C-alpha cells in the first residue's frame, strides 16, 4: 500500500520525504487554508519534493469552471492529479478530464456505489472518507473493502485511496482491507513511527553503552601496566602470525603457508 501525506505543509512533506516513506500528497481547500499563501506556488513546491501524484482540488460548481481550474493545475507539473468532488457535475468533469488525458482523484466518496460511478467516469483515484463516516456511526472501512473487492473482481483500473484517516489503526485496517493508497495526516504518520517500548529501549541501550564505556575507560586508567602488557602481547601475536603485514621471525616456529605452493596446492595434487 502506498502512503500519501494529507497536508499542504511543505515542512511536513519534506520530513516524510527524508524518511523515505512518501509516495504522494493530497491537498484540499481546508488544508490549504491552514498554510495560506499561493496555492499554485505550494503545489509547484510539493511537486518538486515528490515525483508521486499530488492532488489539487477544484472548487468551481460548474463543469466548465472545474475544467478551467483543473487544466491550469495540470500545467503546473506533470505529477499533478486534479481532485474533483463527487457529484453529477463532478462525474461529467471527471469524464471530460479523462478524454483530455488529465488524471483525477474523485473526492468526498461515502458509498461504494459513488466510488463505482467515479471509476466508470474515468477517475484514477477514488477517495472514500473513512473518518468522517466513523464520525456519524457508520463503518468507513466497509467502503474501502467493498471498493477494493469490486475493482479486483471486475478488473477496474481505478485505485482505492483511503482518506480522512484519523489514527494509526485506520492505516493498518485500510491496508488489510485492500486500499491501494492511504493518505495520512503528518501527526498520524509520526504516531506510526513511535512506540513507548521502542523509545524506552533506545534510551536504555544508550545508557548501558555509556555506562560500559565509562567503566572500561576507568579500568584502563587505573591499571596502566596491565594495559601496556596487553598491548605488547597483541603486537607480538600479530608479528608471529604474519598479520602485522611484514615477514619476520616466527614466534611459534611454524612456517607460514604460502598461497599456490606446498601440499595444499590444487595444482600440485593434480
> What's the min distance (Å) between Cβ of 54 and ligand E4P?
11
Neighbours of 205 (CB within 10 A): 10
Q: Residue 112, interface with ligand E4P (CB under 6 A)?
A: no
The span of 74-82, 127-135, 207-215, 227-235 binding ligand E4P (CB under 6 A) equals 127-135
Among 104, 114, 127, 159, binds ligand E4P (CB under 6 A): 127
Among 26, 112, 114, 182, binds ligand E4P (CB under 6 A): 26
State which of positions 219-248 bind ligand E4P (CB under 6 A): none
The candidate with the shortest Cα–Cα distance to 132, out of 123, 141, 124, is: 141
C-alpha cell at position 181? 493508497
Q: Residue 163, interface with ligand E4P (CB under 6 A)?
A: yes
Q: Residue 28, interface with ligand E4P (CB under 6 A)?
A: yes
C-alpha cell at position 194? 513511535
Concerning whether 83 is annotated as a catalytic residue, the answer is: yes
Q: Residue 50, interface with ligand E4P (CB under 6 A)?
A: no
Among 14, 103, 132, 167, binds ligand E4P (CB under 6 A): 132
Q: Residue 131, interface with ligand E4P (CB under 6 A)?
A: yes
> What's the min distance (Å) between Cβ of 216 and ligand E4P?
52
Among 3, 6, 148, 173, binds ligand E4P (CB under 6 A): 6
Among 112, 170, 183, 189, binds ligand E4P (CB under 6 A): 183
> Which of 2, 34, 75, 83 does the annotation list as catalytic?
83
C-alpha cell at position 198? 521502542
State which of positions 88-107 bind ligand E4P (CB under 6 A): 107
Catalytically annotated residues: 83
Residue ranges that bind ligand E4P, judged by CB under 6 A: 6, 26, 28, 107, 127, 129, 131-132, 163-164, 183
Amino acid at each position: 500500500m502506498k502512503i500519501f501525506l494529507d497536508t499542504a505543509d511543505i515542512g511536513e512533506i519534506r520530513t516524510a520525504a527524508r524518511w523515505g516513506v512518501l509516495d504522494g500528497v493530497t491537498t484540499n481547500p481546508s488544508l490549504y487554508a491552514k498554510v495560506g499563501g499561493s496555492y499554485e506556488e505550494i503545489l509547484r513546491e510539493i511537486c518538486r519534493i515528490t515525483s508521486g501524484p499530488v492532488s489539487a482540488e477544484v472548487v468551481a460548481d460548474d463543469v466548465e469552471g472545474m475544467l478551467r481550474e483543473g487544466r491550469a493545475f495540470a500545467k503546473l507539473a506533470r505529477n499533478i492529479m486534479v481532485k474533483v468532488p463527487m457529484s453529477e457535475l463532478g462525474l461529467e468533469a471527471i469524464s471530460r478530464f479523462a478524454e483530455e488525458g488529465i488524471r483525477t482523484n474523485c473526492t468526498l466518496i461515502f458509498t461504494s456505489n459513488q466510488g463505482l460511478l467515479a471509476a466508470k467516469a474515468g477517475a484514477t483515484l477514488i477517495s472514500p472518507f473513512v473518518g468522517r463516516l466513523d464520525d456519524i456511526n457508520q463503518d468507513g472501512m466497509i467502503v474501502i473493502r467493498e471498493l477494493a473487492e469490486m475493482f479486483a473482481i471486475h478488473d477496474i483500473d481505478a485505485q482505492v485511496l483511503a482518506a480522512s484517516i484519523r489514527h494509526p489503526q485506520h492505516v493498518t485496517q485500510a491496508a488489510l482491507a485492500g486500499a491501494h493508497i492511504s493518505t495520512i495526516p503528518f501527526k498520524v504518520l509520526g504516531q506510526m513511527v513511535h512506540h513507548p517500548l521502542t523509545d524506552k529501549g533506545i534510551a536504555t541501550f544508550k545508557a548501558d553503552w555509556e555506562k560500559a564505556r565509562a567503566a572500561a575507560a576507568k579500568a584502563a586508567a587505573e591499571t596502566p601496566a596491565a594495559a601496556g602488557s596487553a598491548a605488547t602481547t597483541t603486537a607480538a601475536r600479530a608479528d608471529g602470525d604474519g598479520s602485522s603485514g611484514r615477514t619476520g621471525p616466527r614466534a611459534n616456529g611454524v612456517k607460514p603457508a604460502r598461497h599456490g605452493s606446498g601440499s595444499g596446492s590444487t595444482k600440485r595434487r593434480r
